Amino acid sequence: MPTDPLKTLSDLVSDAHAQIQAAHQHINPVVEVRQSMRDAGIPADLITLDCLRTQRRITLILHDQQPGMVLYQLVTREEEVGGEFKQMPLAEMSSATLFDWMQDYFG
């Protein structure tokens, strides 16, 4: 049975979140997993990591039309999602990558 990509990505985010909280108490990102895009007819799942202190957001999308890829953006909470997304194979995503993004972008 294939691994659920949302569970895989969620687990990586959870690990990175725990690491960032241990290393940088001032960052303390808020993580949200949303599947509501599917309710709107968009075949994708969304994870956001928000830093309330800096008002910055990391957006991660798993889109059914791009299996095995994570689409991502580093934006402000005010900007929401827009423009071009970068992409990375889910197999190359790691909790260390997510930790580095949060440390660099939210720190």
For 46, the token pair is 């969304």
d(CA 65, CA 7): 18
91-105 pLDDT per residue, tens: 999 999 999 999 999
92: three-class secondary structure by DSSP: helix
9-54 pLDDT per residue, tens: 999 999 999 999 999 989 999 999 998 889 899 999 999 999 999 9
pTM for the whole structure: 0.93
